[in-house]
């Protein structure tokens, strides 16, 4: 059975909302992928997209709010890298959802595999006689 308390101890509802919101957009997923490969400056990231620097900064801010990336200052540059701890926590949450749905599908498969019990399709208050009557 799904144990919501276990998932809640991993990520709060607000954290889950922020993670899924952050990952819902393709550019943010790509930024996360790039920062998993190594730390990059926001300027270098912005050069990869057909959008303004400010738009890329907003995407980075959403990822940072979800704690999927960590930003730090080095001189005038802002460097970002993926946070493997939060990514692992999000992966754990998804694994728990997968377990939940696999268990439900297994139960449904078991129900469908049970032999059907023969039933008289007529309601019990049907006044018509059966064949043997």
Domains and CATH numbers, the chain: 4-86 (1.10.10.10)
Band (pLDDT 50/70/90 cuts) for residue 120 is low
pLDDT the model gives residue 5: 41
Angle at 19 between CA 16 and CA 25, to 5 degrees: 140
CB 32 within 8 A of CB 69: yes
Q: 5-9, 92-96, 121-125, 129-133: lowest mean pLDDT where? A: 5-9
- pLDDT tops 90 at residue 42: yes
Instruction: Say if pTM beats, i.e. exceeds, 0.85.
Output: no
Q: Which residues touch 20 (CB under 8 Å, ≥6 apart)?
A: none
């Amino acid at each position: 059975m799904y144990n919501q308390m276990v998932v809640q101890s991993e990520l709060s509802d607000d954290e889950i909302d922020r993670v899924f919101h952050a990952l819902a957009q393709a550019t943010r997923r790509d930024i996360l992928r790039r920062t998993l490969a190594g730390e990059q400056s926001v300027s270098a990231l912005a050069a990869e997209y057909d959008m303004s620097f400010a738009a890329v900064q907003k995407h980075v801010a959403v990822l940072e709010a979800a704690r999927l990336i960590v930003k730090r200052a080095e001189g005038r540059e802002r460097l970002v890298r993926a946070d493997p701890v939060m990514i692992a926590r999000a992966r754990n949450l998804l694994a728990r959802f997968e377990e939940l749905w696999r268990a439900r599908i297994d139960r449904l498969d078991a129900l469908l595999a049970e032999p059907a019990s023969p039933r008289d399709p007529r309601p019990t208050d049907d006044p018509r006689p059966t064949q043997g009557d």
